[in-house]
Amino acid sequence: MRSKTLLSVCWEEPVEVSANPSTRERKKIHQWYYRADDIEHKTKLLVNLLQQPEATRAIVFVRKRERVHELANWLREAGINTCWLEGEMVQAKRNEAIKRLTDGRVNVLIATDVAARGIDIPDVSHVFNFDMPRTADTYLHRIGRTGRAGKKGTAISLVEAHDHLLLGKIGRYIEEPLKARVIDELRPTTRARARS
C-alpha cells in the first residue's frame, strides 16, 4: 500500500507492474507433470529429463535448503554438474552461481524459491518443480523463469501422491489443467489420487 501511495505522489498516472507471466506469456510455456512414487523415483525421472538434448539450461526448484545440497549430490552421482542458489548464501556466491549457469559452465541450477522472483537468467529452457511449491502463486513465479523474451519454455512438475490436491489448485489458478506425461521405463507403480 505504501508503495502505491508513493507512486501516486511521484507519478500522475501510476502504472501497475506484475511479476507474474501474462496468459499470453504462459502460452509460450509448455506445462506438464510426471507422477513419482517416492523421492528415489522422482530423482530418476529428473535425471532422465535433464539428460534430454532439449534441456539446455534448467532451473530445478526445491522447497528446502537441505534438499538443494542432497539433490546436487544425487545429480553429481548421475554425472550431471550443477550449481545452486539458496537463501543463506551471501550475494557474491549467488552471483557466482548465476554466472556459472549463464556462462554455460553448468546447465542446471538447483534453487529454493529465492530464485523464483527477481532473478533474470536468459535462455532458461526448462523449469523443474522437483518439490511442488506451497502455493499456486509461487508455482507461477517459478515457471516464469522460462519462456521469457519471446522464447518458448518448458515447465515440468514431479508430483507425488500428496501433491495432487495442489496440482488441482494450480490448474484452477492458471485456468488450465496440467497434463500428465509418462516415461515408459520409469512408469509409477502406485495409483494416482483423484484431483480436486
Domain definitions of the chain by residue range: 21-186
Confidence check: pLDDT of 8 > 90: no
CB neighbours of residue 155 within 10 Å: 25
**Distances from the Cα of 126 to the Cα of 27, 32, 143, 157, 191, angstroms:** 14, 11, 9, 11, 27
pLDDT confidence tier of residue 15, bands split at 50, 70 and 90: very low
pTM reported for the whole predicted model: 0.83
What tens digit of pLDDT does each residue of 127-177 get?
Answer: 999 999 999 999 999 999 998 888 899 999 999 999 999 999 999 999 988
What tens digit of pLDDT does each residue of 113-123 get?
Answer: 887 777 888 89
What tens digit of pLDDT does each residue of 181-193 get?
Answer: 999 999 999 876 5
Percent of the chain residues topping a pLDDT of 90: 69
Residue 9 grid cell: 505522489
Provide the greatest CA pair distance for the chain: 60
CATH 1.10.3470.10 fits 21-186, yes or no: no
- Report whether 133 contacts 117 (CB < 8 A): no
**Distances from the Cα of 178 to the Cα of 17, 59, 136, 181, angstroms:** 27, 19, 12, 10
Q: What is the pLDDT of residue 6?
A: 44
Interacting residues of 16 by C-beta distance below 8 A, sequence separation 6+: none
